[in-house]
Amino acid sequence: MTPEQMRDASLLELFSLEAEAQTQVLSAGLLALERNPTQADQLEACMRAAHSLKGAARIVGVDAGVSVAHVMEDCLVSAQEGRLLLRPEHIDALLQGTDLLMRIATPSNAPVPADIEAYVALMGRLLDPAAAVPVTATAASLMAELQLEEPASLAEEPAPAVEPIAQAPKKSRRTTENGERVLRVTAERLNSLLDLSSKSLVETLRLKPHLATMQRLKRIQNNSLRALENLNVHLKEHALSLEAREALEDARRLLAESQQLLVEKNAELDEFAWQASQRAQVLYDTALACRMRPFADVLNGQVRMVRDLGRSLGKQVRLEIEGEKTQVDRDVLEKLEAPLTHLLRNAVDHGIETPEQRLLAGKPAEGVIRLRASHQAGLLVLELSDDGNGVDLENVRRSIIERQLSPAETAAQLSEEELLTFLFLPGFSLRDTVTEVSGRGVGLDAVQHMVRQLRGAVVLEQTAGEGSRFHLEVPLTLSVVRSLVVDVGGEAYAFPLAHIERMCDLDSADIVQLEGRQHFWHEGRHVGLVAASQLLQRPVNQGHQQTLKVVVIRERDTIYGVAVERFIGERTLVVLPLDERLGKIQDISAGALLDDGSVVLIVDVEDMLRSVDKLLNTGRLERIARHGNQAAEAARKRILVVDDSLTVRELQRKLLLNRGYDVAVAVDGMDGWNALRSEDFDLLITDIDMPRMDGIELVSLLRRDNRLQSLPVMVVSYKDREEDRRRGLDAGADYYLAKASFHDDALLDAVVELIGGARA
């Protein structure tokens, strides 16, 4: 790229940044002028924004931007001078011009010349409705002027066009409202800085146990010195040689000197630890603040969207915002835009009534939606309310019955809170017809899902005839997470609190067996019970516990209880992303460090729920031994059945279970190989023809593995030819059984022949 091309690219980038800022001024000002078209300060601000954009577009040679900004400026000047009163159609056209300017500044979305000509003609008609034909001529002459005169002047005098911009960064840097300089830093560098600062903060915490050890050592030395003094007193009764007295004195002196040195160094270490922790905290807070942005940044275009959507539905709607300067992590802001847009569109479409309906209800014709942002206890709290008609609870009740989500008798007894929870179910909608705004069944369930991804929660409240209120709570930053730390197989794991319904202790009597699966009763429903040790592939603790520790996790309408060994406690963890080279680790989202510097893995709850579903579908979910039966459960021999036929797989599983064996299943050779590597079995029963990996490959891999090469293997196949039997045995199988001659006793007799009875 030539220096000239590099300079041009820089100019266009500056123009794009300026267009983004000035179009925000235009949008906010025009929406204010719609309510009061004679506000002098807003007229002045909008006129200057259009004028600035026209000048910037002229300098970088963007003719379309000059055309659009020019006619917008003419309209605003006419309004300033009292020659024109801005009406809704003028505001619509000016907002359309604002959108065009933003598109012009975005090369990938630039409008075609016909759009520009049409817009110039439209503004001409609005400025002078009686001169339709001359307007077209004016537009044409303006375009001709732009195409002939502006480039010519730039060609004749290139230096003045480039020189001011080239020097602009030296004369004026971007600043905040407080006059602070603003530098552009990549998100990756900010993330790296925050990562390093969080690690520094955790590292300083590791000094605490060292300080405690030093204090203990100081106490030991004090006791040693007292013991030496007592010894000296007792020895005075005996005649000691000069050498003995000198040795005793040397010991007292050395111990006193070491004690004094220890006291001094202990004080220095304590001071260093305090200062280091303070500096690390300031460093982390400063790095975190660099990622923070005002909540207003997520509102760009939302006020405009509410206004435009209301007009398209024939409603008068105003969006009022409080707490625009509330600081939030930029990652949280980006993920909040979609759910907030959902809720705002929902409020305009479902909540706010038409002007006629509002007047009949004794309300102002204009509806109001209020969005309030604030900080509370380390969380960003959003309250979005409207003064509309509220939710028609009887309509919700009818829809529940029609969709067969609940029997009519049960639906009739549902409380208001229970009815409102149905609105968050996937596909649930109160609209009978599909429109551009609503009726597709995509809305509140998506909002809840997105908020949960932010480790937050959303609650709906409403008052009939007075409106609805959504209460959202999300973390201020995704770089820290409030979690429950638990012990699984001797290692620490963290469950984000946003996904935890509750923690509980289960007695053995609370666990019931339903359809081959373990459940317990929770809030009026049976909840499936799974072992964290199986999901996370950790060894099972053989220790005896009076109760079972269970974490109840939920994601949307899916809920399970996960049995762990111990609750360590709630912790605020600094999230440390895993190395990208590791790829996606099953059931784990990130890592963190505890106060003592030990590592804790943060559970990916959504991924874990998918793992549970997979175990259920393949029949591999292990039972959690109830107290009193642990020894018997541990002594049962385990068999892995690998077959891609659901019928054959289930038949073999039930036969073996009824005989007392513990059975796990896999759907193909690859799934079976993963199971063999992660769990212990006494026998493998496998088919031959399977997708991804056939039985011959599976047996061959097993025989090459040092840990598995002695595991007994039975091949059960439809192929009953001698060459097929020979292939299986040559690969390393111990027994070959043809499905053509397959019957219950043949399978069970072969299993007993290979590994004996079900009990060890």
- Is the pLDDT assigned to residue 431 strictly greater than 80? no
Q: Which of 92-106, 650-664, 717-731 has the lowest mean pLDDT?
A: 717-731
Please write the tens of the pLDDT for every residue from 172-197.
345 555 556 666 677 777 777 877 87
> Which value, in Å, is the radius of gyration of the alpha carbons in the chain?
37
- Is the pLDDT assigned to residue 165 strictly greater than 60? no
- The rounded mean pLDDT for the chain is 78
Please write the tens of the pLDDT for every residue from 261-276.
888 888 888 888 888 8
Please report, in angstroms and rounded to a whole number, the separation of the first and last CA atoms in the chain: 76
- Integer angstrom CA distances of residue 203 from 193, 206, 273, 498, 594: 15, 5, 10, 27, 10
Q: What is the pLDDT of residue 433?
A: 44
Please write the tens of the pLDDT for every residue from 208-251.
777 777 877 877 888 888 888 888 777 777 777 788 878 888 88
Q: Using pLDDT thresholds of 50, 70 and 90, give the confidence band for residue 722.
A: low
Q: Which residue has the tokens 């969207």?
A: 305
- C-alpha to C-alpha distance for 391 and 398, rounded to whole angstroms: 13
Tell how strand 457-463 and strand 379-386 pair up. Answer: unpaired
- Reported as type and span, the H/E element at residue 675 is helix 669-678
- Is the pLDDT assigned to residue 381 strictly greater than 50? yes
Residue 261 Cα to chain centre, angstroms: 51
Residue 469 three-state SS: strand
- Is the pLDDT assigned to residue 464 strictly greater than 70? yes
Greatest alpha-carbon span in the chain: 130
Q: What is the pLDDT of residue 10?
A: 58
- Reported as type and span, the H/E element at residue 639 is strand 638-642
What is the SS3 assignment for 534-553?
Answer: HHCCCCCCCCCCCCEEEEEE
Q: What is the pLDDT of residue 9?
A: 46
For residue 693, the 8-state DSSP code is S
Please write the tens of the pLDDT for every residue from 490-516.
889 999 887 788 888 888 778 877 666
Within 8 A by CB and 6+ apart from 282, the residues are none
- Integer angstrom CA distances of residue 208 from 266, 273, 569, 747: 12, 8, 19, 62
Q: Which residue has the tokens 């405009």?
A: 304
Within 8 A by CB and 6+ apart from 481, the residues are 455, 475, 494, 496, 572, 573, 575, 592, 602
Could you count the other beta carbons within 10 Å of the beta carbon of residue 325?
9
Q: What is the pLDDT of residue 248?
A: 82
The arithmetic mean of pLDDT across residues 671-681, rounded, is 87
Given a contact cutoff of 8 angstroms between Cβ atoms, the answer to whether 627 and 636 are in contact is no
- Is the pLDDT assigned to residue 8 strictly greater than 90? no
What is the Cβ-side half-sphere exposure of residue 614, based on CA atoms within 13 angstroms? 14
Check residues 644 and 738 and name the one with the higher pLDDT: 644
Tell how strand 638-642 and strand 683-686 pair up. Answer: parallel
- Reported as type and span, the H/E element at residue 674 is helix 669-678
Check residues 94 and 571 and name the one with the higher pLDDT: 94
Q: What is the pLDDT of residue 760?
A: 62
Given a contact cutoff of 8 angstroms between Cβ atoms, the answer to whether 120 and 97 are in contact is no
Q: Using pLDDT thresholds of 50, 70 and 90, give the confidence band for residue 135.
A: very low
Within 8 A by CB and 6+ apart from 685, the residues are 639, 640, 641, 642, 652, 713, 714, 715, 716, 751
The single-letter code of the amino acid at 129 is P
pTM, 2 dp: 0.53
